[in-house]
């Protein structure tokens, strides 16, 4: 038996977010194209050096990106939307970033969740254009590794089935044309890698863990039959992750030389498949046994037992020990964390520590030298110490979760009754305008908050600054004539971190950044203990803003499921129980806002959908407890108190029912990049509660015209009644600049007023 250590992929953000800072400096015209390319090359080489130094037998290349790997694959094959007026050949950086972020002449491509993670990818657009290999980026990375380090790395690329599945713009007929055009380009990329000396080529196919029907299985079989026939000398590692492999017996028989399986998130079904069907003896088995999506130290004794069980059940002659997925979903290293509780820190493993775990497990099972391997016992001691920590043993909180009763999930009256009560109480105009919550956080805001956190400013000075900024933006909103205002969230760094800092059971890191989309990095809190509300978290700022105006100011909270899904979560308690703990804490905050006179309260759940199991047959249980968690946090208010929520990138065709089940009075939806698709969805699946369809894209710096937004609003009235339609941007405005924000909101309000006049005139 041969064991080999490797990883599916490694973070590219940089230990101090060097990658992010480089991209953003280029976008601000502070770096030339030559400068950005040189800096990104330095970052790319440093991360290869790191992987080699941590003892991996095979390192992966091709997983580095200038923005997003789906976008990389699209432009590599000439899949550039026609609106960007690309003339062929190598795609320049301005066009590349234009597709990702939009420009003055064209809107950006749609962004959506990467399976059930918190990462967003750029959705490729097929418009029937002739495909071409514009540049073999994967080959360039492979040759770079060979030149700099003298190694034969493992190049990786998103596989053809997954790439095709996640591309938009084709129907059943044009899909065939698309695939037939795509496969020769994949073959060319692979052939050039083989010619350059690549021994293994990793094709990432996470779509193979989703629910596949018979036709889809046949399509996968045809794709790989053609691809391997075109490049017969290639050794392909077909890599799956995030769940167990679908259609196991058929897909493990594909004509490839290796199969990668997730033995963390897909443990039960993949092990069951090994027991029932075994494993092809002519293939290498890549076993994902170290969790690539959480930050907890692995119990290496249990992992080694799993590896041995996999070896016995599979009968494989060669096994790769690897992460369960790319490590891009976890921070880089715990070495940079100097302020964490030592018991907690000792129980953590970020990307670098996971590479060490992979290396140690490989040696452990290869050499069978149990006596001298201290790492095994050290991991068990660290996990046990955290288990006994007082923060994980608050019986009062645990008992409160167990004491929840059905009545705790329900509002006093149904929506129709509440709607009438709220219209009478609030007296809002048709098509009320609002924003999602946050306003631009200027450099001054960020510098001031940073100085306060470093104790360079007193609490009083900082509080005065936040109040002044809030007052200024209340004035701006009034001048713009927005109907329902927000306080702007200038005191908040992050919509999850802010609440986690005020609740029990959370810990926070200094450098534990991961990429959310593009250059946006997030630093997820760590939920490592029992969660409880101690004191009001948002009442002071919201009530202050409300006292500045006669218009309504929304209270702004992050919902329980989003706090869960955007945190690293303890693994000793069910996710349901953790979410109910958060919901009970938020329930107290909602009640405190209501008691302070706040009539509209928004509890955002942008991450509700991303936690869905990848197979639809497993959705029911998740949706049951997540919907209940939202209702648990909001159901205790009076009928006249209006509950809003907000959701980000979401395929709503199959999600209208759970959205309605939340029983929020108003939901706002991030749909500006896919507005037409949502309109079509609402035609087939009518929605009866209040809804705000995002009328412009806040992720792009462009300012859409009043006419553009008015068209979107007019289209929306095809599927919505005038009494349920709210007008808002598609997400928070924290990352935008002030001038573009004010200009876009002015256009939005003007468009809403025009629509109001049109509807009123038509009903006279």
8 Å CB contact between 61 and 6: no
Q: Alpha-carbon distance 534 to 528, whole Å?
A: 17
8 Å CB contact between 637 and 590: yes
Residue 196 backbone phi and psi in degrees, to 5:
-85, -5
Q: Which of 169, 7, 102, 307 is nearest to 730 (CA)?
A: 102
Is 731 known to sit in a ligand binding site?
yes
> At 115, is the secondary structure helix, strand, or coil?
coil
Is 673 known to sit in a ligand binding site?
no
8 Å CB contact between 582 and 500: no
- CB-CB neighbours of 89 under 10 Å: 10
Is 604 known to sit in a ligand binding site?
yes
- CB-CB neighbours of 352 under 10 Å: 23
Active site residue 699: yes
Q: What residues form DSSP beta bridges with 234?
A: none
Instruction: DSSP letter for 510, please.
Output: S
Is 293 known to sit in a ligand binding site?
no
Q: Which of 449, 380, 394 is nearest to 734 (CA)?
A: 449
Is 19 known to sit in a ligand binding site?
yes
Out of 329, 644, 675, 699, pick the active-site residue.
699
Residue 499 backbone phi and psi in degrees, to 5:
-75, -40
Q: Alpha-carbon distance 692 to 670, whole Å?
A: 9
Q: Which of 699, 703, 711 is nearest to 741 (CA)?
A: 703
Q: Alpha-carbon distance 138 to 193, whole Å?
A: 8
SS3 content of the chain, % helix, strand, coil (to 5): 50, 15, 40
Instruction: DSSP letter for 687, please.
Output: -
Instruction: DSSP letter for 709, please.
Output: H
Q: Which residues contact 43 (CB under 8 A, 6 or more apart)?
A: 12, 14, 18, 19, 22, 64
Is 21 known to sit in a ligand binding site?
no
CA atoms within 13 A on the CB side of 728: 31
Q: Alpha-carbon distance 428 to 86, whole Å?
A: 46
Q: Which pairing describes strands 555-558 and 642-647: parallel, antiparallel, or unpaired?
A: unpaired
Buried/exposed code over 198-211 (b: 16+ C-beta within 10 A; e: otherwise): bebbbbbbbbbbbe
8 Å CB contact between 156 and 146: no
Is 325 known to sit in a ligand binding site?
no
8 Å CB contact between 153 and 59: yes
Is 619 known to sit in a ligand binding site?
no
Is 18 known to sit in a ligand binding site?
yes
Q: Which residues contact 50 (CB under 8 A, 6 or more apart)?
A: 10, 352
User: In 102-235, which ranges are E strands?
Assistant: 111-113, 120-122, 154-158, 201-204
Q: Alpha-carbon distance 683 to 679, whole Å?
A: 6
Q: Which residue has the tokens 């990307």?
A: 351
Is 651 known to sit in a ligand binding site?
no
Residue 393 backbone phi and psi in degrees, to 5:
-135, 45
Q: Is 168 exposed, middle or buried (0-12, 13-18, 19+ CB in 10 A)?
A: middle
Is 610 known to sit in a ligand binding site?
yes
Is 478 known to sit in a ligand binding site?
no
8 Å CB contact between 632 and 584: yes
Is 113 known to sit in a ligand binding site?
yes
8 Å CB contact between 352 and 48: no
Is 582 known to sit in a ligand binding site?
no
Q: How far is CA 674 from the centre of its chain?
A: 18
Helix axes 18-27, 93-101, angle to 10 degrees: 100
8 Å CB contact between 615 and 269: no
> At 157, is the secondary structure helix, strand, or coil?
strand
- CB-CB neighbours of 515 under 10 Å: 23
Q: Alpha-carbon distance 573 to 524, whole Å?
A: 19
Instruction: Dig out the tokens for 356 from the structure.
Output: 């060490």
Q: Which residue has the tokens 């609740």?
A: 503
Sign of CA dihedral 482, 714, 671, 66: negative
Is 650 known to sit in a ligand binding site?
no
Is 468 known to sit in a ligand binding site?
no
From the annotation, which residues make up the binding site for L-methionine?
436-438, 489, 604
Which residues are known to be catalytic?
699
From the annotation, which residues make up the binding site for L-homocysteine?
436-438, 489, 604
From the annotation, which residues make up the binding site for Zn(2+)?
646, 648, 670, 731
From the annotation, which residues make up the binding site?
17-20, 113, 436-438, 489, 566, 604, 610, 646, 648, 670, 731
From the annotation, which residues make up the binding site for 5-methyltetrahydropteroyltri-L-glutamate?
17-20, 113, 566, 610
């Amino acid at each position: 038996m041969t064991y080999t250590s490797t990883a599916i992929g490694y973070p590219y953000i940089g230990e101090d977010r060097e990658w992010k800072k480089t991209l953003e400096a280029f976008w601000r015209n502070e770096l030339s194209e030559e400068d950005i390319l040189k800096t990104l090359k330095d970052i790319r080489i440093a991360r290869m050096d790191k992987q080699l130094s941590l003892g991996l037998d095979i390192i992966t290349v091709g997983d580095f990106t200038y923005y997003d790997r789906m976008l990389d694959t699209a432009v590599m094959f000439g899949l550039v939307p026609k609106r960007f007026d690309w003339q062929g050949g190598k795609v320049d950086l301005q066009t590349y970033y234009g597709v990702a972020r939009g420009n003055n002449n064209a809107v950006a491509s749609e962004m959506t969740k990467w399976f059930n993670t918190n990462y967003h990818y750029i959705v490729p657009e097929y418009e029937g254009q002739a495909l071409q290999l514009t540049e073999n980026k994967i080959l360039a990375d492979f040759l770079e590794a060979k030149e700099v380090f003298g190694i034969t790395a493992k190049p990786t690329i998103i596989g053809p089935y997954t790439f095709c599945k996640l591309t938009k713009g084709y129907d059943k007929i044009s899909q065939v044309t698309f695939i037939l055009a795509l496969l020769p380009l994949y073959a060319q990329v692979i052939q050039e890698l083989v010619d350059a000396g690549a021994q293994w080529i990793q094709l990432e196919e996470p779509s193979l863990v989703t629910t596949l029907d018979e036709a889809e299985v046949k399509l996968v079989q045809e794709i790989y039959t053609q691809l391997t026939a075109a490049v017969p000398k290639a050794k392909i590692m077909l890599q799956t992750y995030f769940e167990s492999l679908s259609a196991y017996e058929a897909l493990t028989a594909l004509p490839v030389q290796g199969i990668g399986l997730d033995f963390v998130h897909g443990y039960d079904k993949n092990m069951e498949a090994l027991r029932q069907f075994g494993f092809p003896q002519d293939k290498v088995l890549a076993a994902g046994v170290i969790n690539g999506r959480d930050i907890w130290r692995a119990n290496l004794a249990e992992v080694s037992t799993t590896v041995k069980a996999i070896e016995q059940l599979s009968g494989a002659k060669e096994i790769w020990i690897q992460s369960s997925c790319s490590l891009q979903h976890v921070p880089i290293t715990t070495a940079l964390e100097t302020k964490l509780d030592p018991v907690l820190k000792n129980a953590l493993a970020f990307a670098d520590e996971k590479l060490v775990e992979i290396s140690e497990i490989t040696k452990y099972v290869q050499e069978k030298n149990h006596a001298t391997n201290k790492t095994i016992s050290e991991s068990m001691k660290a996990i046990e110490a955290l288990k006994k920590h007082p923060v994980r043993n608050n019986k009062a909180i645990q008992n409160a979760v167990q004491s929840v009763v059905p009545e705790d999930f329900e509002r006093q009256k149904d929506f129709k009754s509440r709607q009438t009560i709220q219209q009478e109480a609030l007296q809002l105009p048709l098509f009320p305008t609002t924003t999602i919550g946050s306003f631009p956080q200027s450099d001054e805001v960020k510098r001031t908050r940073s100085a306060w956190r470093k104790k360079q400013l007193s609490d009083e000075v900082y509080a005065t600054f936040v109040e002044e900024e809030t007052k200024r933006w209340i004035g701006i909103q009034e001048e713009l004539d927005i109907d329902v205002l927000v306080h702007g969230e200038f005191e908040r760094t992050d919509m999850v971190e802010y609440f986690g800092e005020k609740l029990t059971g959370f810990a926070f890191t200094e450098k534990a950044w991961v990429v959310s989309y593009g250059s946006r990095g997030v630093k997820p809190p760590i939920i490592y203990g029992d969660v409880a509300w101690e004191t009001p978290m948002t009442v002071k700022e919201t009530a202050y803003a409300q006292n500045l105006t006669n218009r309504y100011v929304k209270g702004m909270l992050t919902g329980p499921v989003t706090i869960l899904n955007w945190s690293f979560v303890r693994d000793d308690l069910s996710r349901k129980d953790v979410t109910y703990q958060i919901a009970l804490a938020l329930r107290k905050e909602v009640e405190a806002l209501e008691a302070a006179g706040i009539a509209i309260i928004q509890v955002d759940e942008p991450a509700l959908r991303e936690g869905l199991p990848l197979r639809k047959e497993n959705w029911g249980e998740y949706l049951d407890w997540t919907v209940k968690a939202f209702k648990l946090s909001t159901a205790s208010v009076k009928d006249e108190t209006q509950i809003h929520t907000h959701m980000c990138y979401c395929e709503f065709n199959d999600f209208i029912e759970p959205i309605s089940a939340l029983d929020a009075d108003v939901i706002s939806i991030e749909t500006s990049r896919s507005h037409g698709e949502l309109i079509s969805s609402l035609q087939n699946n009518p929605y009866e509660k209040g809804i705000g369809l995002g009328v412009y894209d806040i992720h792009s710096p462009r300012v859409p015209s009043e006419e553009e937004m008015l068209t979107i609003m007019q289209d929306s009235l095809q599927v919505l009644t005038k009494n349920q339609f709210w007008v808002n941007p598609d997400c928070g405005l924290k990352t935008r600049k002030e001038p573009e924000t004010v200009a876009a909101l002015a256009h939005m309000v003007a468009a809403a007023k025009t629509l109001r006049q049109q509807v009123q005139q038509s009903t006279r």
